[in-house]
Amino acid sequence: MTSLATSALLVVLAALAPVSEVRGAIPLAYVIAQDGNTKWLLVTLATVFNSLIPFIALEALQVFEDMLLRSTSGVLGSVKQLYSRLVSRARGEGGKYLRRWGYLGLAVFVAIPLPATGAWTASLIAHVFGLSKLRASLAIVIGVVVASLIVVLAMEGVLTIISLL
**pLDDT tens readout for residues 122-133:** 998 899 888 999
**Tens digits of residue pLDDT in 40-88:** 999 999 999 999 999 999 999 999 888 888 877 777 777 887 888 877 7
Structural domain boundaries, residue 20: 4-164
Give the CB-side neighbour count of residue 148, counting CA atoms within 13 A.
Answer: 24
User: Among candidates 134, 136, 107, which has minimal Cα distance to 123?
Assistant: 136
What pTM value is reported for the model? 0.86
Q: How confident is the model at residue 2 (pLDDT cuts 50, 70, 90)?
A: low
The H-assigned helical ranges of 1-52 are 4-16, 21-32, 36-51
pLDDT at 96: 64
- Which region among 30-39, 71-80, 129-138, 150-159 has the lowest average model confidence (pLDDT)? 71-80
pLDDT at 1 over 60: no
With a CB cutoff of 8 Å and minimum separation 6, the contacts of 91 are 128, 129, 130
Task: Domain count for the chain, please give it.
Answer: 1
